[in-house]
Amino acid sequence: MGYNQLMRELHKPLTKKELLKIHETLPERLDYLMRLHALTNKALAEILCCSESAISGYRTGRRTPDYLIICNLCTVLGVTPDYLLGFTDKIGLTHN
């Protein structure tokens, strides 16, 4: 695959099916990972420098985090974005 083809693939918009998968999976996985790491909404909000209500919204599916929050969540929780967003079931821990 050449560079131009790779760049087209990277910039493809998500399909409705992929967006639905994210909307369904992210809250479940975020809740699971927060319980696994014994993190409260308040603790995670302090780490990410956001509000507790934002974290609560992500956990319930009322809100969807932007890509910077997703990247920070993955770093804090030690998982890949593909796992957090539901594109794979392999946790793929990035650190211990």
**Cα–Cα distance, 86 to 71 (Å, whole number):** 14
Residue 63: what pLDDT?
A: 93
Catalogue all structural domains in the chain, each as residue range(s) with its CATH number: 16-85 (1.10.260.40)
Closest-CA residue to 59 (of 26, 35, 36): 26
Residue 16: what pLDDT?
A: 86
Residue 17: what pLDDT?
A: 86
Residue 57: what pLDDT?
A: 96
Walk along the chain (96 residues) in steps of 10 and give the mean pLDDT of each run.
63 80 91 96 96 96 92 94 90 62
Phi-psi region of 25 (alpha: psi -120 to 50; beta: other; left: phi over 0): alpha
| DSSP states along 27-89 | HHHHHHHHHHTT--HHHHHHHHTS-HHHHHHHHHTSS---HHHHHHHHHHHT--HHHHHTS-S
Residue 18: what pLDDT?
A: 82
